[in-house]
């Protein structure tokens, strides 16, 4: 269980709001488990402007390529260089050491449109059910 | 029509092991069980096991079976000694590759061919067409009645249940028993490591699989099968070659015996050789950041020059590698090329296709 602070997109990105309209962004556990071993991350450079729901980067596992969508609009403040050097951290610790970027949010109210932990857990449970059918 | 997906005799086991499943060439197969990287490394450093029952297994028997295969295959089947095997190609009359396959001579007039899962009906039709009504050639597809398990890795010969076959030479095979199960065990594989491919009756599939599970072998999926063969420089039919490719441009000329014999496709291949190659299948290593995937364009100075046929991350070498076709003048090792990765050209260079070699220093 993650802290109540985490918000999720239907594309399985998470954002954890920090003080002064900032937020840390990463991939949810479900995303990493679907992708398998992640071997490459293409993240937006600091300073890049991103828009909620629009593509901001790419993640590749041994077998698959997937887009990373911005969970909120704003500007990239920082990228997690450690995870770029060791993409497997997303698999090992998706909500912690495997975070991807830190954003400065231009529209913090956008976060209201995202799922909270409880809602997201239900969403994933439904997906897993469909998958096992 | 509804899409039918075939299941191997070990399908239930894969589900019990909670493998992630996928459809491949009409078969439902495990992509990975725990992690592609773990499975890949298990085979490079210890041993792993694969359900390769999707591969087609066809017995060709009868007094004229050898003559028949000599006519169809790019290498002489009759030159094989009983108990040995070889990789060869099945070519069309125009020299295009219909499949690559392993031919095992299991008896004087008894051969087994193991080929890829795709286009089975078409390939069987091709064999039957050339066999005609000849009574001395019997073609039996026993794929559904048998199971095939590949056990691969440097540690395979230390396995208790493979002690009896550890004397087999490379590409050798024998009829034997593994924990009571009657099998055909061959020292072949598709990973670049030592190993065996083992065929048994479907009824004994579980027993065979379990006997290896008990030895602590790691089950490995399709994804590791793909990354292992790519690293070892092995081609995949349908991606790296198909009916529109000839053996020479695919870099498989060593599988074609031209002299003092005739076989289907020979005259076309002679003509192709006379005209000279226009393109060549090469290996490349990514220099820039990014992973090349099958279907991506190869460019040079803004011009499209070819297509990636296989690509991915090489776990043993920790670099991104691939195969593709380029014009012959760009096929020299060391040539700079670029791969279009999502509309961005990314630097790469042509290298030897054998990215990984067993027992070598393996630095690109």
- On whether any CB of chain A is under 8 Å from the CB of B290, the answer is yes
The alpha carbon of residue B198 is apart from the nearest alpha carbon of chain A, in Å, by 27
B4 pLDDT exceeds 90?
A: no
B363 pLDDT exceeds 60?
A: no
What residues of B are in contact with residue A91 (Cβ under 8 Å)? 35
Q: How far apart are CA B89 and CA B248, in angstroms?
A: 12
- The CATH number of whichever domain residue B1 belongs to comes to 3.30.1360.120
Beta bridge partners of B29: B22
Output the average pLDDT for chain B.
95
- On whether any CB of chain B is under 8 Å from the CB of A63, the answer is yes
- A45 lies in some domain: yes
Are B133 and B268 within one domain? yes
At residue B361, the pLDDT reads 63
3-state secondary structure of B308: strand
Q: What is the pLDDT of residues B224-252, one digit of tens each?
A: 999 999 999 999 999 999 999 999 999 99
Are B216 and B354 within one domain? no
What residues of A are in contact with residue B37 (Cβ under 8 Å)? 37, 62, 88
Are B105 and B176 within one domain? yes
Q: How far apart are CA B111 and CA B140, in angstroms?
A: 11
B164 pLDDT exceeds 80?
A: yes
The last residue of one of the domains, among B234, B254, B275, is B275
Q: Report CB contact under 8 Å: B293, A65.
A: yes
Instruction: Tell me the whole-structure pTM to 2 decimals.
Output: 0.89
Q: How far apart are CA B231 and CA B21, in angstroms?
A: 23
Q: Which domain holds residue A103?
A: 10-132
At residue B48, the pLDDT reads 98
At residue A133, the pLDDT reads 52
Taking every pair of C-alpha atoms in chain B, what is the biggest distance, in angstroms?
62
Q: What is the pLDDT of residues B169-189, one digit of tens each?
A: 999 999 999 999 999 999 999
Q: Which domain holds residue B218?
A: 1-275
The last residue of one of the domains, among B222, B249, B275, is B275
- On whether any CB of chain A is under 8 Å from the CB of B227, the answer is yes
**Count of the separate structural domains present in chain A:** 1
**Count of the separate structural domains present in chain B:** 2
Mean pLDDT of B147-158: 96
Nearest-CA neighbor of B20 among B313, B228, B190, B223?
Answer: B223
Are B14 and B162 within one domain? yes
Please state the length of chain A. 133
Q: Report CB contact under 8 Å: A36, B315.
A: no
Whether the CB-CB separation of B266 and B258 falls below 8 Å is answered with yes
Mean pLDDT of B187-212: 97
- On whether any CB of chain B is under 8 Å from the CB of A37, the answer is yes
Q: Per-residue confidence of chain A (133 residues) as pLDDT tens digits?
A: 466 689 999 999 999 999 889 999 999 999 999 899 999 999 999 999 999 999 999 999 988 889 999 999 999 999 999 999 999 999 999 999 999 999 999 999 999 999 999 999 999 999 878 765 5
- On whether any CB of chain A is under 8 Å from the CB of B294, the answer is no
- On whether any CB of chain B is under 8 Å from the CB of A67, the answer is no
- The CATH number of whichever domain residue A31 belongs to comes to 2.40.50.100
Are B251 and B300 within one domain? no
Are B296 and B258 within one domain? no
- The CATH number of whichever domain residue B320 belongs to comes to 2.40.30.110
What residues of A are in contact with residue B313 (Cβ under 8 Å)? 39-40, 60, 62
- A1 lies in some domain: no
Q: How many C-beta atoms lie closer than 10 Å to residue B94's C-beta?
A: 14
ipTM above 0.85, yes or no: no
Are B111 and B215 within one domain? yes
Q: How far apart are CA B192 and CA B171, in angstroms?
A: 13
What residues of A are in contact with residue B320 (Cβ under 8 Å)? 40
The last residue of one of the domains, among B250, B275, B300, is B275
B108 pLDDT exceeds 70?
A: yes
The alpha carbon of residue A37 is apart from the nearest alpha carbon of chain B, in Å, by 6
Q: What is the pLDDT of residues B80-102, one digit of tens each?
A: 999 999 999 999 999 999 999 99
Q: Report CB contact under 8 Å: A62, B320.
A: no
Are B126 and B267 within one domain? yes
Q: Report CB contact under 8 Å: A62, B342.
A: no
Mean pLDDT of B265-290: 97
Are B231 and B303 within one domain? no
Are B125 and B231 within one domain? yes
Are B129 and B195 within one domain? yes
At residue A5, the pLDDT reads 86
Q: What is the pLDDT of residues B58-77, one digit of tens each?
A: 999 999 999 999 999 999 99
């Amino acid at each position: 269980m993650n802290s109540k602070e985490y918000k999720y997109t239907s594309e399985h990105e998470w954002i954890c709001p920090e003080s002064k309209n900032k937020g840390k962004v990463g991939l949810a556990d479900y995303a990493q488990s679907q992708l398998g071993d992640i071997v490459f991350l293409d993240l937006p450079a600091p300073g890049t402007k991103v828009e909620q729901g629009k593509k901001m980067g790419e993640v590749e596992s041994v077998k698959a390529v997937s887009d990373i969508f911005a969970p909120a609009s704003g500007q990239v403040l920082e990228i997690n260089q450690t995870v770029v050097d060791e993409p497997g951290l997303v698999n090992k610790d998706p909500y912690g050491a495997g975070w991807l970027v830190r954003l400065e949010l231009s529209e913090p109210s956008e976060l209201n449109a995202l799922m909270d932990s409880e809602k997201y857990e239900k969403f994933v449970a439904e997906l897993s059910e469909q998958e096992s059918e | 029509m509804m899409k039918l997906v075939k299941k191997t005799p070990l399908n239930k086991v894969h589900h019990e092991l909670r493998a992630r499943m996928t459809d491949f060439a009409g078969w439902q197969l495990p992509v990975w069980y725990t992690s592609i990287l773990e499975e890949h490394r298990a085979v490079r450093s210890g041993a792993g096991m694969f359900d390769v029952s999707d591969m087609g297994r066809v017995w060709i028997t009868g007094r004229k079976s050898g003559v028949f295969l000599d006519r169809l295959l790019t290498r002489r089947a009759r030159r094989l000694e009983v108990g040995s095997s070889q990789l060869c190609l099945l070519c069309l009359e125009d020299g295009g590759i219909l499949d690559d396959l392993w031919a095992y001579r299991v008896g004087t007039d008894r051969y087994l061919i193991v080929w890829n899962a795709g286009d089975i009906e078409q390939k069987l039709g091709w064999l039957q067409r050339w066999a005609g009504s000849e009574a001395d050639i019997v073609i039996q597809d026993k794929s559904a009645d048998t199971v095939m398990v590949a056990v691969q890795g440097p540690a395979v010969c230390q396995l208790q249940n493979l002690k009896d076959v550890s004397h087999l030479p490379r590409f050798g095979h024998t009829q034997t028993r593994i924990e009571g199960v009657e099998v055909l065990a061959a020292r072949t594989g598709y990973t670049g490591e030592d190993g065996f491919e083992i065929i048994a009756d479907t009824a004994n599939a579980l027993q065979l699989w379990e006997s290896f599970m008990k030895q602590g072998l790691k089950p490995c999926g399709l994804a590791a099968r793909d990354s292992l063969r790519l690293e070892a420089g092995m081609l995949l039919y349908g991606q790296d070659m198909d009916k529109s490719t000839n053996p020479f441009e695919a870099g498989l000329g060593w599988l074609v015996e031209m002299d003092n014999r005739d076989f289907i496709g020979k005259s076309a291949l002679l003509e192709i050789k006379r005209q000279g190659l226009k393109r060549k299948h090469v290996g490349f290593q990514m220099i820039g950041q990014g992973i090349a995937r099958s279907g991506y364009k190869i460019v040079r100075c803004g011009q499209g020059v070819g297509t990636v046929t296989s690509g991915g991350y090489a776990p043993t070498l920790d670099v991104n590698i691939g195969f593709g076709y380029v014009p012959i003048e760009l096929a020299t090792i060391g040539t700079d090329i670029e791969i279009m990765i999502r509309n961005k050209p990314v630097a790469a260079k042509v290298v030897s296709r054998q990215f990984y070699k067993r027992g070598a220093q393996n630095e690109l």
